[in-house]
Amino acid sequence: ADNYSTPDEILFEETLKAAVNRRLRRLAVTSVCRMDSRSSDGLQAVDMLTSAVAFEFRQNAGLASATSPKARLAAYARTALGADSCLSGWRSPQHSVAIYAAHNAPTVKPDVDTR
Q: What tens digit of pLDDT does each residue of 41-86 get?
A: 988 888 888 999 999 999 999 999 999 999 999 999 999 988 999 9
The model scores a pTM over 0.95:
no
Measured between alpha carbons, how far is residue 11 from residues 7, 18, 28, 29, 83 in Å?
9, 11, 19, 15, 36
Whether 13 and 54 share a structural domain: no
Domain span at 102: 39-108
Distance, in Å, from the CA atom of 57 to the CA atom of 16, rounded to the nearest integer, reads: 23
Domain presence at residue 14: yes
pLDDT above 70 coverage of the chain, percent: 84
Whether 46 and 87 share a structural domain: yes
Domain presence at residue 56: yes
DSSP 102: P
Cβ-contact 85, 56 below 8 angstroms: yes
Domain presence at residue 113: no
- Looking at the structure of the chain, the number of domains it has is 2
